[in-house]
């Protein structure tokens, strides 16, 4: 038998908090890289302006490519982070459906059990009535006592 483990809200919260903290760390490092690249571009541009030489487009293009890759990485990590709450919502919705089904089954079982108890009670009352009727019959006649003894012997 495999043991089923329930995921608590605290565990979901911890997972979400860890994912968000990792994402913010990545964002901070990416922002640092972006500022470094921007500073490098600014220094290249100011250097080119001071020297009055045409700006080297290959360096600018490589810097722009680095910025582009960093931005795409940030978008990918942001999309992955946005999928985590969807998964948590699916888990919570699944738990809600599970609870509704289990409560419906338990209500049905309880209702069925109470109906069976009512039927049993009716049978017991019917039996008690028959028992008192036959007991009065046995007490009042010798033939009834003989029939009862015969029935008792046949039953054994």
Given a contact cutoff of 8 angstroms between Cβ atoms, the answer to whether 76 and 68 are in contact is: no
pLDDT of residue 84: 72
**Along the chain (156 residues), what's the average pLDDT of each consecutive run of 10 residues?**
71 85 85 84 78 66 84 82 74 87 85 83 76 69 72 74
Q: Which residue has the tokens 């968000």?
A: 20
pTM for the model = 0.30
Instruction: Supply the Cα-derived Rg of the chain in whole angstroms.
Output: 42
Determine if residue 56 is left, alpha or beta; phi over 0 gives left, psi from -120 to 50 gives alpha, anything else beta: beta
Contact 20, 82 (CB under 8 A): no
| The pLDDT value given to residue 54 | 58
Question: How many Å apart are CA 100 and CA 106, to the nearest integer?
Answer: 10
- What pLDDT does 156 receive? 65
């Amino acid at each position: 038998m495999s043991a089923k483990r329930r995921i608590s809200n605290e565990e979901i919260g911890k997972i979400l908090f860890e994912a968000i903290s990792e994402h913010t760390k990545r964002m901070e490092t990416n922002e640092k890289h972006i500022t470094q690249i921007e500073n490098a571009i600014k220094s290249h541009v100011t250097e080119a302006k001071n020297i009055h030489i045409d700006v080297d487009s290959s360096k600018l293009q490589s810097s722009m490519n680095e910025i582009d890759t960093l931005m795409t990485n940030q978008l990918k990590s942001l999309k992955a982070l946005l999928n985590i709450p969807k998964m948590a919502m699916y888990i919570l919705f699944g738990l809600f459906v599970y609870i509704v089904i289990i409560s419906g089954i338990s209500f049905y079982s309880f209702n069925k059990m109470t109906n069976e108890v009512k039927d049993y009670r009716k049978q017991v009352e019917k039996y008690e009535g028959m028992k008192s009727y036959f007991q009065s019959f046995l007490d009042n006649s010798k033939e009834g006592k003989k029939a009862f003894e015969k029935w008792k012997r046949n039953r054994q």
